[in-house]
Structures are given as C-alpha cells and as structure tokens.
Amino acid sequence: MDYEPLITEAQIAERMPALAAEIARGLPDTREGLVVVGPLKGCLVFMADLSRALWKVGVAHDYDFLRLASYGKGTESTGKVQMESDLIHSVAGRPVLLVDDICDSGRTLTFARAHLLTRGAASITTSVLMDKPARRAVPFAVDHVGFTIPDAFVVGYGCDLAEALRGLPYIGLYKA
C-alpha cells in the first residue's frame, strides 16, 4: 500500500548531518560517556541514522533503551505512559541524549526525562525527528527537532500504526 509522503527518504537523509552537527554544538562540553537513550520501539530507525550521523561529526556515544508505551492499538494516545522495561546500564553521572521519533502530547519525553533524572543523569539533551507542537498536552520543549510537522498521524521510518508500517522507508501520512 502507498502512503502520501510527508517527508521523503531524500529529505530525511539531507537533514540528518545538519541535525547531528546542531546536536554536537548543543551538547555540554563534558560529553565523556555520552549515552543515547531512546524509548522503544518508535525511536529505532531515527536513532540508528542519528547514531551514524553523530559519529561522522565526532560524537562518540553508546546506547540504551527504555520500553515505553502509551498508544495501544489506535491513532490516539491513551494519555498514560507505561514503562515496560528499564535501562540496561547506569546513566548516573553521564550526559544523556534522549531521542525519539515524534514528540506529540509531550508525555513520553516528559516521563523519560524525569526517569533519567531519577537515575542520576548528569545532563539531558533532547532530539526528535518530528515535532507536532500543535498536539502538546504537557509543555515540553525539544532541544533539536528534525522536522516540525502538522497535526496528522504519520507512519513509517519507525512510526507504527498498531505495530505495522515501521519499515516504510519514508514518513507517510496515514488517512483512516
């Protein structure tokens, strides 16, 4: 099935080095031990591309993951974030780059940031591929945004509809 592209593969590929460079400039001076943390599963494709783009601008890092869920099977968030699995390694005293596919209501990143702080992260910088500012339910300002998008449900590049369509290599508009 085809989905109307909102952001093409070429646009994502073009944006990634500039976004990585912007993140590199914004990281604290002491970025020793930087860990990139993403909430699974939506973060996966963006994090994979961003990781390599960060490497190319000289930002060494390792990874960790949270498993967070709020959407269930539909296109509307349930409004409640649940942590299904926690970090594997300690982030205590380390700078963290928290990344996700989309910032929508802001609840997931709010939850993740609070959790990382309770685990002793030294600093938290945030980046998302897509920001939907019109949808915010809780105030959350993302530090580095790939693309600002309108209030629409999108699929592909890691974003799912009830677990389907994550492998679509571009960002498509989902119309019910």
Q: State which residue, 18 or 164, has the beta carbon closest to ligand IMP.
A: 164
Catalytic residue among 100, 104, 131, 160: 104
Angle (CA) 161-78-2 rounded to 5° is 15
**159 binds ligand IMP per the rule CB under 6 A:** yes
Q: From 7-15, 38-46, 78-86, 143-151, give the range in contact with Mg ion by CB under 5 A.
A: 38-46
Footprint of ligand IMP on 51-90 (CB under 6 A): 70-71, 77
Q: State which residue, 42 or 156, has the beta carbon closest to Mg ion.
A: 42
**156 binds Mg ion per the rule CB under 5 A:** no
64 is a catalytic site residue:
no
**11 binds ligand IMP per the rule CB under 6 A:** no
Q: Which residue has the tokens 């390792």?
A: 62
Give buried/exposed letters for 82-92 (b at 16+ CB in 10 A, else e).
eeeeebeeebe
Q: Nearest Cα to 122, choosing from 47, 2, 29, 11?
A: 29
Footprint of ligand IMP on 109-148 (CB under 6 A): none
CB of 95 to ligand IMP, least distance (A): 22
Structural contact between residues 96 and 62, judged by C-beta atoms closer than 8 angstroms: no
Q: Nearest Cα to 83, choosing from 95, 68, 70?
A: 68
Backbone angles phi, psi at 170, to 5 degrees: -135, 175
Binding site for Mg ion (CB under 5 A): 42
Binding site for ligand IMP (CB under 6 A): 39, 42, 70-71, 77, 100-108, 153-154, 159-160
Catalytic positions: 104
